[in-house]
Amino acid sequence: MTGSVPQPIRVLVVEDDPVAADAHVMYVGRVPGFVAVGKAHTGAEARRFLDRTPVDLLLLDLHLPDVHGLQLARSLRAAGHQADVIAVTSARDLAVVREGVSLGVVQYVLKPFTFATLRDRLVRYAEFHAAVGEASGQDEVDRALASLRAPSPAALPKGLSGPTLERVTGVLREASQGLTAAGVAEAVGISRITARRYLEHLVEAGRAGRSPLYGQVGRPELVYRWAPQGR
Residue 228 has pLDDT above 70, yes or no: no
Residue 211 bridge partners (DSSP): 223
Confidence of residue 138 (pLDDT cuts 50, 70, 90): low
Q: Which comes out higher in pLDDT, residue 122 or 151?
A: 122
Q: Is 16:229 a contact under the CB 8 Å cutoff?
A: yes
Beta bridge partners of 221: 213
Cβ(167)–Cβ(194) below 8 Å: no
Can you give the pLDDT at residue 231?
41
What is the reported pLDDT for 132? 52
What is the per-residue DSSP string for 26-87?
Answer: HHHHTSTTEEEEEEESSHHHHHHHHHHS--SEEEEESB-SSSBHHHHHHHHHHTT---EEEE
What is the reported pLDDT for 8? 93
- pLDDT, averaged across the chain: 82
pLDDT at 52: 94
CB contact at 8 A, 224 and 180: yes
> Do 59 and 86 touch, CB atoms closer than 8 A?
yes
- Indicate if the pLDDT at residue 136 is higher than 50: no
- pLDDT (average), residues 34-59: 96
Q: How far apart are CA 115 and CA 41, in angstroms?
A: 20
At 136, phi and psi to the nearest 5? -80, -15
3-class SS of residue 1: coil
Using pLDDT thresholds of 50, 70 and 90, give the confidence band for residue 173. Answer: confident
Peptide bond into 54 cis (omega under 30): no
Closest CA to 16 of 50, 47, 39: 39
pLDDT score, position 179:
92
Both ends of the chain: CA-CA distance in Å? 53
110 has a pLDDT exceeding 90 = no
How large is the average pLDDT for residues 50-73? Answer: 93
In order of 108, 147, 151, 177, the CA distances from 91 in angstroms are: 10, 24, 20, 23
Average pLDDT over residues 167-195: 91
Q: Quick one: average pLDDT of 132-140?
A: 50
106 vs 99, which has greater pLDDT?
A: 106
Number of Cβ within 10 Å of residue 49's Cβ equals 17
For residues 114-140, average pLDDT:
71
